[in-house]
Copies of this chain bind each other. A is one copy, B any other.
Amino acid sequence: MIKKVDDSKNKLSLSELIDTTGFVEHVSVDCIIFGFNKNELKVLLLKYHELERWSVPGGFVFKNESLDDAAARTLYERTHLENLFLQQFYTFGDVERTDQNNPHRELLKSRNISVDANHWIYQRFISTAYFALIDFTISHTFPDTFNETCAWFSVDELPKMAFDHDVVIKKGLDFLRKNLDYNIVGSNLLPEKFTMKELQTLYETILDEKFRRNNFQRKILSLNILQRLEKLYTGSANKAPYLYKFLNK
């Protein structure tokens, strides 16, 4: 049914990927990686070299592996990122969801892997989606000589996406907005030390609304989740802002 090819330079080869002995068929996990940089909320997307469509990192679930573990594992395998804040937010299970923009066929063909036409890899996936939050400033350490390309995209300027991943991202962003937690979002998307203005811009970006400088500061400080540190002198001709860190970090 499956003709294996030499694909050993990859951490997890595609022929292994579709070998069903260990995987739960028709089930996958997807991870949206959110990062924040200069007024923009970004997502980290992957693209196989030979394809024109981008996708969020994800993969299959082993039969003896929990969904949460599968999310963390596939995230690591495809980005080398570890110990991220990961949270499940929705499971996508429409019948047509993998019909559109399904890159599996061309991907397997271009690699000379022949798979039976009615193999489950061509059928509908029930996909449980997670989102991860990471500090954008350490993101350039990603391995970009993987078997795929990775790049950051602004959430409102997504490229051509595989499957229904544009819908997945939209829903993930909705979830992030509705369940906004000052502590979790701030402490995972910002570097360890940050100014009040950076924190404010982060929340303004995610929620897509503006706050008053002074009222925002008062509200955040009243939550008692920040520790005030030294001042940050940038050389500009104005009062130097304090740096802060989250108490739980």
Which residues from chain A sit less than 8 Å from chain B, CB to CB?
A: 24-27, 61, 63-68, 70, 88, 90-95, 123-124, 126, 128
> B93 to A66, Cβ gap below 8 A?
yes
> B88 to A26, Cβ gap below 8 A?
no
> B67 to A91, Cβ gap below 8 A?
yes
Looking at A25, A65, A67, A91, the one whose CB has the most chain B CB atoms below 10 A away is A91
Given A88-B90, A93-B128, 16 further pairs, Cβ under 8 A = A24-B25, A25-B26, A26-B27, A27-B126, A61-B93, A63-B123, A64-B95, A64-B124, A66-B95, A67-B91, A67-B92, A67-B93, A68-B93, A68-B94, A126-B126, A126-B128
Residues of B within 8 A of A67 (CB): 91-94, 126
Query: How many Å from the CB of A215 to the closest CB on chain B?
Result: 25
When chains A and B are docked, how far (Å) is the Cα of A63 from the Cα of B93? 10
Residues of B within 8 A of A63 (CB): 26, 123-124
When chains A and B are docked, how far (Å) is the Cα of A95 from the Cα of B64? 6
Residues of B within 8 A of A68 (CB): 93-94
Residues of B within 8 A of A123 (CB): 63
When chains A and B are docked, how far (Å) is the Cα of A64 from the Cα of B123? 9
When chains A and B are docked, how far (Å) is the Cα of A25 from the Cα of B20? 12
A-B pairs with beta carbons under 8 Å apart, 25 shown? A24-B25, A24-B26, A24-B27, A24-B126, A25-B25, A25-B26, A26-B27, A26-B63, A27-B27, A61-B93, A63-B123, A63-B124, A64-B124, A65-B95, A66-B93, A66-B94, A66-B95, A67-B92, A67-B93, A67-B126, A68-B93, A68-B94, A70-B93, A88-B91, A91-B128
